[in-house]
Amino acid sequence: MSTSLTIRRPDDWHLHLRDGAMLKAVLPETARHFARAIIMPNLVPPVVRGSDAAAYRDRILAALPDGMAFEPLMTLYLTEDTDPEDVAAAHASGLVKAVKLYPAGATTNSASGVKDFDRIAPVLEKMAEIGLPLCTHGEVTAAEIDIFDREAVFIDRVLDPVRRAHPGLKVVMEHITTSQAADYVRSVDRGLGATITTHHLVINRNHILVGGIRPHYYCLPVAKREEHRLALRAAATSGDARFFLGTDSAPHPDHLKEHPCGCAGCFTATNTMSVLAEVFEQEGALDRLEAFVSLNGPGFYGLPVNEDTITLTRGDAVTYPAKIEAGGETVTVFDPGYPLHWRVDA
Ligand code: DOR
Ligand code: ZN
């Protein structure tokens, strides 16, 4: 068994950094191991215009501790009023790398998201023309659709029709949680990819609900049955270039997670690389970890891979904090439920 693994420095293709004190607290957790990340725009108010993204990027870079390198890859939050010309200008300047679609009401801070998909057709047309990817939160929100079915129904009702209407549009299905999503991505040769989170490779829905409710395992899309977790592990460890890491690391203060109406999100930035090494080792696929975390994402986005490397070393159980402190509050770090043995030397 290998005891040491050197790979190109990874990137995170789906990350929530928030703002203010929370941003300052969580940014080093990602920047320690990752060179770049696609930064989610669901702030309050959301990052809608190119000027919002430029200001947010400046705040992220200002929050970066001295001596750390990190490149935020900015996104815009798609609304029914998004101006295609503003999107095109933000892309042309190199600032914006993707546009994020939240169906209205699907998740945290998604109230300004899209209800009428016809209204975003002109933006999607422009994005197809300029080669700017659309990142989708792939869940329908219709009340009659069971929460465990919302991703699979999204594929049929929204994603497939949108892709047919805009054949040139590059699309990333974010944080996929089902075998249906993995199969759909595999059924398309070009222009469709998917991110997979760290936590969805580890937990299924039992982890959230058996033996007491575990708010720190609650996220959206919610974890599904075991068969789906296994399908995600197969996709992530396959080496297939259409699948890449997007942690969806999403910090919330503990008092809002441990709450009668707890927020959705797992905070995995701190230990993601150790967890993934453990998962890939369990699957006998350590030789494909680099593809998932460092090669496939840049390949999809048409960006260069990182030149420098990190080294993972197997040894005694690694230690990491159970919580980090953020502006006088705490944020619980994802607990995979088993010891981790891969230390990261970045
Ligand atoms: O679990 C989640 N948390 N899913 C999302 O889609 C949003 C995220 C957040 O912003 O907290
Ligand atoms: Zn997210």
Q: Report whether pLDDT(141) > 70.
A: yes
Query: Domains in the chain: how many in total?
Result: 1
Give the integer Cα–Cα distance in Å for 270 and 251: 11
Ligand whose nearest atom lies closest to the CA of 250: 1
Among candidate residues 250, 237, 324, the one with its CA nearest the CA of residue 285: 237
Q: CB–CB of 264/219 below 8 Å?
A: yes
**250 Cβ inside 6 Å of ligand 1:** yes
Question: Which stretches does DSSP call E strand in the chain?
Answer: 4-8, 12-15, 36-39, 71-77, 96-101, 134-136, 171-173, 192-196, 243-245, 309-314, 323-326, 329-332, 342-345
Q: Which of 12, 240, 248, 335 is catalytic?
A: 248
**137 Cβ inside 6 Å of ligand 1:** yes
> For 53-82, how does the pLDDT look when each residue is reduced to its tens digit (9 = 90+)?
999 999 999 999 999 999 999 999 999 999
Give the per-residue pLDDT at 2.
Answer: 58
Average pLDDT over residues 168-191: 97
> For 205-214, how does the pLDDT look when each residue is reduced to its tens digit (9 = 90+)?
999 999 999 9
**What residues are paired with 309 via a beta bridge?**
8
> For 74-104, how does the pLDDT look when each residue is reduced to its tens digit (9 = 90+)?
999 999 999 999 999 999 999 999 999 999 8
Domain of 192, in residue numbers: 4-345
> For 240-250, how does the pLDDT look when each residue is reduced to its tens digit (9 = 90+)?
999 999 999 99
Nearest CA residue ID for atom 10, ligand 1 = 108
Average pLDDT over residues 196-213: 98
Give the integer Cα–Cα distance in Å for 128 and 216: 37
Give the per-residue pLDDT at 107.
Answer: 80
Provide the terminal-to-terminal Cα distance of the chain, rounded to the nearest Å.
22
**Helix ranges, the chain (H):** 20-31, 50-63, 84-92, 121-130, 150-154, 160-165, 179-186, 205-209, 226-236, 254-257, 272-282, 289-290, 296-301
C-alpha of residue 188 to centroid of ligand 2, in Å = 23
The pLDDT mean for the chain works out to 97
> Ligand 1 pocket check: which of 43, 108, 175, 252 to mutate, most ligand atoms within 8 Å of Cβ?
108
The yes-or-no answer on residue 189 being catalytic is no
Residue type at position 183: D
**344 Cβ inside 6 Å of ligand 1:** no
Ligand whose nearest atom lies closest to the CA of 46: 1
Average pLDDT over residues 252-264: 98
**177 Cβ inside 6 Å of ligand 1:** no
Give the per-residue pLDDT at 269.
Answer: 98
**16 Cβ inside 6 Å of ligand 1:** yes
Q: Residue 32: which CATH number?
A: 3.20.20.140
Which tokens hold the place of 20?
Answer: 């203010």
Q: Report whether pLDDT(334) > 80.
A: yes
Give the per-residue pLDDT at 101.
Answer: 97
Give the per-residue pLDDT at 112.
Answer: 85
Looking at the chain, the whole-number percentage of residues with pLDDT higher than 90 is: 96
